[in-house]
């Protein structure tokens, strides 16, 4: 909830319920003017240094400067964010559900609906069924894709993947995984692939199972200096490959839309929450995520 606003703020007021965006944008740099706010230059310049878009920090501790984490720093009772990083959503959506919209939900649902624009009747493969992949699955289902193949190396993800819209499940790492996906689409491969695991193996699989002329959307992330080897033939055949941060997010357009879709019963959020924790036990949530035991842990603050 918004506690206080600066003099120049016009879009939100104290008392508003908001979801924070980890990619706020200035609105007038080279990329913002070209409708690519995810590439906003002040954000790219200052976020890695732990600063807000003006290159400054608003935090101190005992006189020493502190930094902002990804322009959000919401692992605290209060945080300072730029106006474009606080997006008003309907008050009816509970905070513990609304907070999920700001990263994995936007990224996965947006990849299917905004970036790829999956059409009704299409075939889709989603590789990696964590929070991002599950939301790519439900984005494909929202667009009425006909064949939705969930792929994960963990067989325990099959049940939740199916509940988020998967029509089939393939175990990654099986010798026949590529053929299993292709056989569901008359041997061609799927119209769309969403890579949501962030590893060399999942990237390799993604390019193999997207059909000639199809779209591969890479959402996962490896270390930026890691080399990834690909079979060149897997890139051929007029495949269209795009890497997306944040699923084409336009937060002021999309966060209220996603919140309303939840309130209308069209978007699953409750099922993403495996664990609720108070702030002082936050590291237990990170540990459980690292072990792959949970989808998302939500930090609850006293009302």
Residues that bind Zn ion (CB under 5 A): 25-26, 29, 32, 40
Give 16 or 200: the residue with its C-beta nearer to ligand NAD: 200
SS (H, E, C) the chain: CCCCCCCCCCCCCCCCCEEECCCCCCCCCHHHHCCCHHHCHHHHHHCCCCCCCCCCCCEEECCEEECCCCCCCCCCCCCCCCHHHEEECCCCCCHHHHHHHHHHHHHHHHHHHHHCCCCCCCEEEEECCCHHHHHHHHHHHHCCCCEEEEEECCHHHHHHHHHCCCCEEEECCCCCHHHHHHHCCCCCCEEEEEECCCCHHHHHHHHHHEEEEEEEEECCCCCCCCCCCCCHHHHCCCCEEEECCHHHCCHHHHHHHHHHHHHCCCCCCHHHEEEEEEHHHHHHHHHHHHCCCCCEEEEECCC
Residue 29 interacts with, from Zn ion, ligand NAD, none (CB under 5-8 Å by kind): Zn ion
Choose the contact partner of 189 out of Zn ion, ligand NAD, none; CB within 5 to 8 A by kind.
none
Q: Does 151 bind ligand NAD (CB under 6 A)?
A: yes
* Shortest separation between residue 25's beta carbon and Zn ion, angstroms: 5
Residue 122 is a binding residue for ligand NAD (CB under 6 A) = no
112 is an interface residue for ligand NAD by CB under 6 A: no
Binder of residue 40, out of ligand NAD, Zn ion, none (CB less than 5 to 8 A by kind)? Zn ion
Which listed range, 27-35, 47-55, 130-138, 256-264, lies at the site for ligand NAD (CB under 6 A)?
130-138
Residues 153-192, one symbol each (x = binds ligand NAD by CB under 6 A, - = not), give xx--x--------------x--------------------
The partner in contact with residue 32, picked from Zn ion, ligand NAD, none with C-beta cut-offs of 5 to 8 angstroms by kind, is: Zn ion
292 binds ligand NAD (CB under 6 A): yes
Tell me if 50 contacts ligand NAD by CB under 6 A: no
Q: Which of 71, 126, 193, 219 binds ligand NAD (CB under 6 A)?
A: 219
Distance between CA atoms of 271 and 50, rounded to whole angstroms?
32
**Minimum Å distance from CB 34 to Zn ion?**
10
Residue ranges that bind ligand NAD, judged by CB under 6 A: 103-104, 107, 127-133, 151-154, 157, 172, 196-199, 201-202, 219-221, 244-246, 292
């Amino acid at each position: 909830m918004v506690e206080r606003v600066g003099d120049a703020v016009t879009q939100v007021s104290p008392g508003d319920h908001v979801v924070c965006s980890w990619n706020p944008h200035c609105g007038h740099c080279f990329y913002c003017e070209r409708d690519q706010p995810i590439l906003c230059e002040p954000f790219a310049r200052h976020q890695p240094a732990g600063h807000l878009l003006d290159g400054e920090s608003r935090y101190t501790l005992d006189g020493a400067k502190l930094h902002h984490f990804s322009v959000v720093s919401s692992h605290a009772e209060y945080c300072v964010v730029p106006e474009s990083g606080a997006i008003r959503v309907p008050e009816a959506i509970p905070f513990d559900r609304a907070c999920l919209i700001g990263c994995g939900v936007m990224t996965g649902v947006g990849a299917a609906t905004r970036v790829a624009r999956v059409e009704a009747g299409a075939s889709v493969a989603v590789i990696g069924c964590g929070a991002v992949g599950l939301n790519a699955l439900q984005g494909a289902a929202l667009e009425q894709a006909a064949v939705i193949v969930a792929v994960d190396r963990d067989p325990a993800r099959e049940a939740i993947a199916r509940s988020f819209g998967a029509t089939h499940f393939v175990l990654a790492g099986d010798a026949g995984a590529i053929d299993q996906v292709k056989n569901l689409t008359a041997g061609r491969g799927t119209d769309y692939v969403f890579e949501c695991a962030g590893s060399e193996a999942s990237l390799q699989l993604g390019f193999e199972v997207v059909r000639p002329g199809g779209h591969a959307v890479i959402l996962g992330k490896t270390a930026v200096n890691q080399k990834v080897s690909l079979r060149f033939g897997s890139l051929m055949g007029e495949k269209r490959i795009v890497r997306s941060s944040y699923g084409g997010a336009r937060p002021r357009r999309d966060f209220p839309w996603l919140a309303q879709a939840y309130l209308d019963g069209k978007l699953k959020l409750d099922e993403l929450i495996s664990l609720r924790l108070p702030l002082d036990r936050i590291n237990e949530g990170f540990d459980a995520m690292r072990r792959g035991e949970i989808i998302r842990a939500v930090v609850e603050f006293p009302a």
